[in-house]
Chain A
Amino acid sequence: MPEMHRTKQARDRYNVLWEWANPVKFMWFSGLALPWLVGATVVTMAVGLVWGFFFTPEAVNFGSSVKIIYVHVPSAMMAISAWFMMLVASLIWLIRRHHVSALAAKAAAPVGTVMTIIALITGAIWGEPMWGTYWAWDPRLTSFLILFLFYLGYMALWGAIEDPDTAADLTSVLAVVGSVFAFLSRYAVNFWNQGLHQGATLSLDKDENIANVYWIPLLFAMAGFGLLFVALVFVRTRTEIRKRRTHALELRERMADA
């Protein structure tokens, strides 16, 4: 009997987790969290970016171009993380049919796209003085470019299909397929020891990681970009929920008028 009781408790806890996928509960929770989230985003981004730009020294081999890592590394990290968030949300939609998860995936795509564009642009600008070229068909750069094209395809697919559930189904499948390139974007450097892009800037190994004088402001910048992503996805998901509610009410009005 105690065993059964424990199982029921565990199941109840599991079900409580899914209650957050309820649109009303999500709107309530996100409405409460957003002011704090926006405040934390502004503070961490300001600390990381101001510290990184104004108060870090030149690096021995890279000169002042080292300051580009404060925008390049966090945006590249978020470009990949955004796709993985979309993957998880898409899987939840495919398995559990929670509408909020499908809308959250849709909401994250433009944010991930902008992060990918920033990573590509800042990488190219950094590449010109360092490698002598803005672009090379290097494994990491190429997989990042393909990831960008996947983002465009994902958003185009949402826009092209009128039925929201069909759009959510097809975009979820695309998110699963595209996750291969999100994964490759992260690990291409490790798989293929060729191309211009250097290995990972950050490492858990203290000897391989960048010096603390660059690392600490970079941590703030990465946290800031991460919080910015969460805040924007919250706002955009709320927008998608409102749009869907408006659409449903318009349909009801039209049916009542007919």
Chain B
Amino acid sequence: MPELGKYADAVLWSWAATLGLIALLVVMTWMQSRKAKADLDAIEARRAAKGN
């Protein structure tokens, strides 16, 4: 860990907020992507079963 001196709080909070928000965005993007794929696969499988 580098020596951050009197700006330690500012630096650490900035980095924590950034990494936290990016992680949240990536996780939400991934979850939405999985759900959209699962929904489409389900409806296509249903149509295939009906012979459409």
User: A-side interface residues toward B, CB under 8 Å?
Assistant: 53-54, 58, 62-65, 67-68, 71-72, 75, 110-111, 114, 117-118, 121-122, 125-126, 128-129, 228, 232, 235-236, 238-240, 242-243, 245-246, 249-250, 253, 256
Contacts and interface: CB of A to CB of B under 8 A. Distances in A.
A131 to B, nearest CB: 12
A242 B42 CA distance: 12
Nearest to A117: B21
Where chain B touches its partner, the secondary structure class is helix
A121 B10 CA distance: 11
B18 A64 contact: no
A249 B42 CA distance: 11
Where chain A touches its partner, the secondary structure class is helix
B14 A122 contact: yes
Contacts of A125: 10, 13-14, 17
A245 B37 CA distance: 10
Contact of A253 (B30, B36, B47): B47
Interface in B1-24: 2-8, 10-11, 13-15, 17-18, 21-22, 24
B15 A53 contact: yes
B14 A64 contact: no
A239 B10 contact: no
Given A58-B5, A110-B25, A236-B29, A75 B18 contact: yes
Interface of B: 2-8, 10-11, 13-15, 17-18, 21-22, 24-26, 29-30, 32-33, 36-37, 39-40, 43-44, 46-47, 52
10 smallest CB-CB distances across A and B, nearest first, come from: A71-B18, A65-B7, A242-B36, A64-B4, A122-B14, A239-B36, A242-B40, A68-B14, A64-B7, A239-B33
Given A54-B2, A245-B40, A129 B7 contact: yes
Given A64-B2, A235-B29, A239-B36, A253 B21 contact: no
Contacts of B5: 58, 63-64
B43 to A, nearest CB: 5
